Structure 1
Amino acid sequence: MRYHFCPKCGGRLSLNEKKEISRPYCISCGFVFYQNPVVGVAAIIIRDKKVLLGKRKGSYEGQWCIPCGYVEWDEDVYEAARREFIEETGLKIEITAVYTVLSNFHNPEQQTVGIWFLANEIEGELAAGDDLEEVGFFSYEELPVLAFPTDRVVLKKLKDEQLLS
């Protein structure tokens, strides 16, 4: 269990092992603590059949990913993708389509649902920012070590659809 105390009354959480799906519940007030995935967003920019990736700092340091981040409370997923992209790359983007949606199970502390968008650059100067230390374009054949297994799935799909060289 990630949490041990009830967010409503402060009582101790316990697992209800009698249920088909075991969820934490409060032994004092009975509150059921549903642990739902967090939503992440990523934007895909392709130039000359190469995809823009960022080298991470902080968590997964030194590994690469499609520029991404979390959706904030009360934030639209499209706006979150635009915000995260400019924070991480310096580029303003126009989202053209939802490319794919996948569940991410790589982090045992936090399951996420990721939404990958196809996007076009509008303006700005490409520069690593926020959680990235470097940015660059890569063909499928020259991909660096990736931080997230789902990015590999997305990149393989792009390759299979001949969007990447």
Structure 2
Amino acid sequence: MADQVNSLEELGAAVTENVGGVQGAAEMTSIQREPVKDAQGRSYATGKRKDAVARVWIKPGSGKVVINGKDQDEYFARPVLQMILRQPFDVAGVSGQFDVMATVKGGGLSGQAGAVKHGISKALQLFDPSLRSALKAAGFLTRDSRVVERKKYGKAKARKSFQFSKR
């Protein structure tokens, strides 16, 4: 019972000490993430969108993007898809500082571009954890869970019915 408080001054002093201790504990519990890199200095992440799955490796470089062995301009010919790939770098403020090597399977070109974007974002935050807040605020670390609805029996497509005939 040595921690007994006998006066208001002692109570005030004990409360301020305790608040300082709690604040120190809060600072200790904030997560300090470590960079995750392999032996070649690359970070790896998997990105997904619709039915597309992208395996993405990033490393410091000149900004070269290779997807399935082809240059980004060759693989994603539409400027909109190329813009989607640049978004994580623009948001993080590291444009032209990383080389990207990605393999993508499944889905169409739009889904594949979204999958590569998701993978780049995850790999960037693994490479440099300080970029996580900017990427998370932009929503690039969240997997877009929307997928194609399945076809139901008795329907032409997922929801479309066959033409109704009264007679």
Q: Which structure is higher in strand share?
A: 1
**TM-score tier after normalising by the smaller chain length:** under 0.3
Q: Which has the higher contact order (CA 8 A, sep 6+)?
A: 2
TM-score (norm 2): 0.24
TM-score (norm 1): 0.24
Q: Which structure is higher in helix share?
A: 2
Q: For the pair shown, which has the larger CA radius of gyration, 1 or 2?
A: 2
